[in-house]
Amino acid sequence: GEDVEQSLFLSVREGDSSVINCTYTDSSSTYLYWYKQEPGAGLQLLTYIFSNMDMKQDQRLTVLLNKKDKHLSLRIADTQTGDSAIYFCAETLYNQGGKLIFGQGTELSVKP
Amino acid sequence: DAEITQSPRHKITETGRQVTLACHQTWNHNNMFWYRQDLGHGLRLIHYSYGVQDTNKGEVSDGYSVSRSNTEDLPLTLESAASSQTSVYFCASSPAREGEQFFGPGTRLTVL
Q: What is the pLDDT of residue B14?
A: 97
pLDDT tens for each residue of B4-37: 999 999 999 999 999 999 999 999 999 999 999 9
Q: What is the pLDDT of residue A31?
A: 87
Mean pLDDT of B31-59: 92
Split at pLDDT 50, 70, 90, the class of B97 is confident
Helices (H), chain B: none
Split at pLDDT 50, 70, 90, the class of B100 is confident
**For residues A5, A10, A15 and A16, what is the CA-based torsion angle, rounded to 10 degrees?**
-70
Q: What are the angstrom distances between the C-alpha of B65 and each of A27, B19, B62? A: 31, 11, 8
Query: If contacts are CB pairs under 8 Å, which of residues 47-106 in chain A contact chain B?
Result: 48, 88, 92, 97-105
Q: Do A43 and B90 touch (CB under 8 A)?
A: yes
Task: With CA atoms as reference, report the closest residue to B24 among B38, B39, B8.
Answer: B8
Check if the beta carbon of residue B73 is closer than 8 Å to that of residue B22: yes
Check if the beta carbon of residue A90 is closer than 8 Å to that of residue A45: no
- Chain A contact present for B58, CB below 8 A: yes
Q: Do B101 and A100 touch (CB under 8 A)?
A: yes
Q: Is the pLDDT of residue A2 over 90?
A: no
Task: With CA atoms as reference, report the closest residue to A111 among A10, A4, A29.
Answer: A10
Of A98, A99, A102, the CB nearest to B42: A102
pLDDT tens for each residue of A58-99: 999 999 999 889 999 999 999 999 999 999 999 987 777 678
Chain B residue numbers with beta carbons less than 8 Å from the beta carbon of A31 are: 98-99
Residue of A nearest to B42 (CA): A104
- Chain A contact present for B89, CB below 8 A: no
Chain B residue numbers with beta carbons less than 8 Å from the beta carbon of A42 are: 90, 103-106
Check if the beta carbon of residue B1 is closer than 8 Å to that of residue B66: no
Q: Do A98 and B99 touch (CB under 8 A)?
A: yes
Chain B residue numbers with beta carbons less than 8 Å from the beta carbon of A44 are: 103
Q: What are the angstrom distances between the C-alpha of B5 and each of A3, A91, B24, B50, B71? A: 29, 24, 5, 18, 14
Split at pLDDT 50, 70, 90, the class of A21 is very high
